[in-house]
Amino acid sequence: MAASEFELIETYFSHTGGPREDVVLGVGDDCALLQVPRGQLLAVSIDTLVEGIHFLARTDPEALGHKALAVNLSDLAAAGATPAWATLALTLPESDTAWLEAFSAGFTALAERFGVQLVGGDTTRGPLTITVQVHGFADPARVLRRDRACPGDRIGITGSLGDAALALKLSAGVGSAVGIDRALADRLHRPLPRIDEGRALAGLARAAIDISDGLMADLGHICSQSGVGAHIYTDLLPLSGAVAAHIKETGDWSIPLTGGDDYELCFTARPQLTGKIEAEMHRLGCGFSWIGEIEKQPGIRCQGVSGDLLKGMVGGYEHFGTP
Ligand code: ADP
Ligand code: MG
């Protein structure tokens, strides 16, 4: 079934999340009118998912609705910000109500979980493209940035690394995620942004980033923007049973080191604060690991179990990179 643009907005996107008291005017007018709390910074981030680049045509629309919001909330998490509002620009090849209903359900469930209200957007016709912008609040004295790491800092990681990349690898060629473990598939299709962990780390961690393009690439951003380097140890990397088994079988460390889409937080902290951070993560029930240290010497050195440095573990996905 098809719906007109206005019916579509009214039906699927007018009452998503909220209502929040700081939304003076939401969907339906020329502009949303929003109240930022006094003394807080407005933290803003935007991400686009393009069919054929970020997801395949057959991807479950409910999972897409979830993921489009989740990847944005993950950026707020990396800033230690508290989510508040979202806007959504949807480009659709057709107004397919079954697709819209499922997409909206996935988006709404995650929005409600984190108290986010959808306050506006744009709806156009064309190749399937989903752009979400999120807005959150951050305490200026505690907000987390990429450019604050210092030599001597410990490097921490929430959760585990490589699950999404392994799920992608195992589902490629097979034609669907059928046959791979549900929990592993969820790590790829339904990542959970580390909002509570980011807020807990604000004021404790020195620098932070969310891992969307792989540990080496994203820790690399912290290093280059902070003017430092890093030394990490593969035997300290947090791995799920599935990823550990895959490495045992193949000897391939690229899954946790350069695989993307995990949306875990990578952060650095002065050694004196490690105990406090461990206590906070324990309070939140979040598994986490110290995987190495920040050093003066630029670049990332990745030490394997044998003590040798691994070679060739660089990169991450780059849209305009040469193949
Ligand atoms: P305008 O022409 O003034 O830009 P639109 O017709 O594009 O307005 O949109 C009408 C209202 O619906 C606006 O408030 C806009 O923010 C909202 N809107 C449009 N598309 C979406 C969407 N996909 N999700 C949420 N709100 C939307
Ligand atoms: Mg418009």
Q: What is the pLDDT of residues 259-298, one digit of tens each?
A: 989 999 999 999 999 999 999 999 999 999 999 999 999 9
| pTM of the entire predicted model | 0.94
Nearest to 143 by CA among 215, 33, 44, 285: 44
Token pair 């895959």 in the structure block, residue: 246
**In what helix (H) or strand (E) does residue 105 lie, and over which residues does it extend?**
helix 97-113
Please enumerate, as own/partner, the contacts of 279-284 that have beta carbons within 8 Å and a separation of 24 or more: 280/197, 280/200, 280/201, 280/204, 281/158, 281/197, 281/200, 283/200, 284/196, 284/197, 284/200
Residues near ion ligand 2 (CB < 5 Å) are 122
pLDDT tens profile 54-103: 888 888 999 999 999 999 999 999 999 999 999 999 999 999 999 999 99
Q: Which of 4, 27, 99, 100 to mutate for ligand 1's pocket (most ligand atoms within 8 Å of CB)?
A: 27
User: What local confidence, expressed as pLDDT, does residue 318 receive?
Assistant: 56
Ligand whose nearest atom lies closest to the CA of 10: 1
Domain boundaries, given as residue ranges, for the chain:
5-138, 154-303
Q: In which band, very low, low, confident or very high, does the pLDDT at 307 lie, cut at 50, 70 and 90?
A: confident
Q: Which amino acid is at 145?
A: R
Cβ(85)–Cβ(20) under 8 Å?
A: yes
CB of residue 28 inside a 6 A radius of ligand 1: yes
Task: Tell me the CATH number of domain 5-138, given options 3.40.50.300, 3.30.450.40, 3.30.230.10, 3.30.1330.10.
Answer: 3.30.1330.10
CB of residue 120 inside a 6 A radius of ligand 1: yes
Cβ(116)–Cβ(73) under 8 Å?
A: yes
Q: How far apart are the first and last CA of the chain?
A: 41
Ligand whose nearest atom lies closest to the CA of 129: 1
3-state SS, one letter per residue, for 303-315: ECCCCCECCCCCC
Cβ neighbour number for residue 183 with a 10 Å cutoff: 12
Cβ neighbour number for residue 59 with a 10 Å cutoff: 16
For 119-147, the DSSP string reads EEEEEEESS-EEEEEEEEEE-TTT--BST
CB of residue 118 inside a 6 A radius of ligand 1: yes
How many CA atoms are closer than 13 Å to the CA of 101, on its beta-carbon side?
A: 6
- CATH of region 154-303: 3.90.650.10
